[in-house]
Structure 1
Amino acid sequence: MVNTFMAKFYFWNLLSAHVYETSLLRFAVGVFAAYKLAPAAEARLGGLQSVQYLFCVLLATSLATSSLDFFLYVLFRNEARLFGASYGYGGLLGALLMNLVANSPQRKVWPEAPAPVRPYVSALQLRQLPLTLCVTASVLSALGLTAVVGHGVTFLWLGSFGGWAYLRYVAMSRAGVRGDFREEFKLVALFPAVCRRPLETVGAFAFGIMILLGFFKERVAHLRHLASAPDPELMDPSPVLRNPVIGLDLSGAARYALGGSTQDGGANGGGGGMPLAKRRGDPVAERRRELAKKALDERLRELEEESMNDWSDDGEEEEEDPEAGLLGDAGSNK
């Protein structure tokens, strides 16, 4: 941090720290992993937007890491926080991995794992992978095994969940609206069941505050449009066959903003929010809208039940594609 903001002003460290390594082995692993994961980001976001995504996430990760170090220095008066080094491929790999999670959160990571490790990884889904890697790296770092994980554990945490925030609220979707609305890409879906209730409460409160402050107006208007006249293309939960970006998230504060309660998903206009305007006109079209609303309500109830289950989503069996595993995908800040 000292060489970046204080004694020297090497501002390029904010980006170069994410591709700097002191270990040849860690450097080789980082380059190989980035080479395998980067094509998925380009295919999903496009070349220009993928570069913008990585630039924003990595810059925000470096600034957040520096701010955290300075805060800890002020709090504990430990000068080691000012002279400590944070670097490595953790932030870059975390951002690329989160983009891969956004493609298909419930896909198995390694469905055809060898027999010795199959009981441990065969049921692991992509949405569970970022938190698993972050916790594992933190444990190894706490045990003093920095030769294995390097000095980029903070980058890994901030890069992963900074990437989630960008994809969830900033990235432009194919419908011309910013953000990814899918239920399976909610923040709580990336955590085990024991953490979901407090996270969902805090998240709904924070999102409600942002709406009151005037943010996400286009997002709320788009959700209101989907709730009043759902488009089957946008309701399809498959991000690969249909649309890899758009889905639905009508829970918590978003439902309240749309005029619905948290129980009925906003379909009936209850809960004290702004009621949805009822359209009048062609009875055939009206009937179709009613059927679409009914299908949407059923889908939302299913997603709410799934969100209360553990990571493995017990009770549902998905078809496993041997080629759908993670292995087949193309894919110093001082």
Structure 2
Amino acid sequence: MSSPPEQSLPNASAKSTNVTNFLQSSSSAFLSVIVSSHVVKGTVLLLVISYFLTFSSSALDHLSVVPGYVLPPNFWIWTLITHNFLQVHMVMVLIDICVVILSGKLLEPLWGPLQIGIFFLIVCCCSAVCTALTYMVFYYVTGNTNYLFETRIHGLGAYIGGFSVVVKQLMPDEVLLRLPFGKVRNRHIPLLCLVTAIVLSLCGVLNGPYSIHFGFGVLASWIYLRFYQKHSNGNRGDMAEDFTFSSFFPSPLDIFVAIISNTIFSLLIRVGVCKKPQRKYDVSSPTTITVTLPGTDPADAERRRQLAIKALNERLSKTGDEASWPGLEDDEQEGAEPELVVAGANEPLTTSEAVAGGDSTPTTKDNDSTGSSP
């Protein structure tokens, strides 16, 4: 008779544990909002208020981007701003709130509220216009007026796509998951999120324009960060090699994407839309030549320098373990080791002692040796 209560105890404890974990996660999320800046708090508040506005079909029509109304001759240009805060599903509202909090934690210390606002406006407005133009193309191809007047573009899909590009730019080599077939890094986030959005849109989980809106957000964000974002040193953009457009794609495809993107970029340079990146050479140092790329912020340059030093140290340690001195084995077999006479030393050094000391070139004690950075 005592067995049923004993079996119900684990279930009750499991339920209480789940409730406790949910309350802890909810409280941590609430505390994250409390300690966030006023910009993040205001954005979260707008997302919550706008969710309740979506229960009114009239408010949804006048606050969402409708391709037939936002473009000429109607010019509902206010919807380019208001559509970002509208979500008809609570799950999507929670996702948007989480992304806003994460982006505030990551970007505000680096950019400041003003740069975040500029990034938000450029990415979201450009993505909304491009998505509306895409549906106008669908209308001209099919003749279906639903693409013009029944399509509602709303949500932070473009900003989420843009934020994924920022994560790739700042922390490209951070490992997110370790899978049997490879590692998932931050550089893979934009493409993985885009593919996920397309699949969910095809399955009917997300509304039709969301994946297109997300894709244009990724593209607009990369163009802005690559060529136009102004840095504290006065330069614009980020011309790093690991931030090219082809770096968004896996290795089998990046070569073909690079050919296409480089061709388009060359055409844009010829017509004057883009400028050719200028490299600055500093030859004032007698031992090193410094090459400066435009758009490199000091903090970002320091991060890249640390990564380069780490990779170089790993390569040097690997080659140092595999390196061998020619003719050393022959000398040991003959039983005689050649001597290296070091100026200023009382006793000569053998070859093995010189190798163990890590220096194979004659040096003097009084002279200082300065090496050049690779």
Q: Please confirm whether the aligned pair reaches a TM-score higher than 0.5, indicating the same fold.
A: yes
2:172 counterpart residue number:
105
CA distance in 2, matches of 1:96, 1:64: 18
CA distance in 2, matches of 1:99, 1:57: 12
CA distance in 1, matches of 2:283, 2:129: 38
1:171 counterpart residue number:
229
CA distance in 2, matches of 1:212, 1:9: 33
- The 8 Å contact of residues 158 and 215 in structure 2, kept in 1 or not, is answered as yes
Q: TM-score, normalised on structure 2?
A: 0.56
- Is residue 207 of structure 1 aligned with residue 260 of structure 2? no
- The 8 Å contact of residues 58 and 92 in structure 1, kept in 2 or not, is answered as yes
Distance of aligned partners of 1:58 and 1:187 in 2 relative to their CA distance in 1, 3 Å threshold = same
For structure 2, the 5+ residue unaligned runs are 1-66, 306-369
CA distance in 1, matches of 2:74, 2:111: 36
1:220 counterpart residue number:
277
Which of these residues, 227, 231, 235, is aligned with residue 290 of structure 2?
231
- Is residue 71 of structure 1 aligned with residue 131 of structure 2? no
| Sequence identity (%) | 21
CA distance in 1, matches of 2:167, 2:197: 19
CA distance in 2, matches of 1:88, 1:241: 31
- The 8 Å contact of residues 4 and 10 in structure 1, kept in 2 or not, is answered as yes
Distance of aligned partners of 1:120 and 1:97 in 2 relative to their CA distance in 1, 3 Å threshold = farther
Count of paired positions: 239
Q: Secondary structure at the match of 1:220?
A: coil
CA distance in 2, matches of 1:8, 1:105: 42
Distance of aligned partners of 1:27 and 1:230 in 2 relative to their CA distance in 1, 3 Å threshold = farther
Distance of aligned partners of 1:109 and 1:5 in 2 relative to their CA distance in 1, 3 Å threshold = same
Q: Larger deviation: 66-75 or 196-205?
A: 196-205
2:343 counterpart residue number:
none
Larger Rg: 2
Matched residue type, 1:22: V
- The 8 Å contact of residues 88 and 150 in structure 1, kept in 2 or not, is answered as no
Q: TM-score, normalised on structure 1?
A: 0.62
Which of these residues, 108, 120, 138, is aligned with residue 198 of structure 2?
138
Q: Deviations over 1:148-170 (max 9, x none)?
A: x7752211111122111110111
1:37 counterpart residue number:
103
Higher strand share: 2
> Which structure has more RCO (C-alpha within 8 Å, separation ≥ 6)?
1
Q: Deviations over 1:230-276 (max 9, x none)?
A: 537879x9986744699xxxxxxxxxxxxxxxxxxxxxxxxxxxxxx
Which of these residues, 181, 189, 195, is aligned with residue 129 of structure 1?
189
CA distance in 1, matches of 2:226, 2:293: 16
Which of these residues, 168, 172, 180, is aligned with residue 238 of structure 2?
180
CA distance in 1, matches of 2:139, 2:200: 24
CA distance in 2, matches of 1:3, 1:136: 29
Task: Report deviation, 1:220.
Answer: 2.5
1:198 counterpart residue number:
256
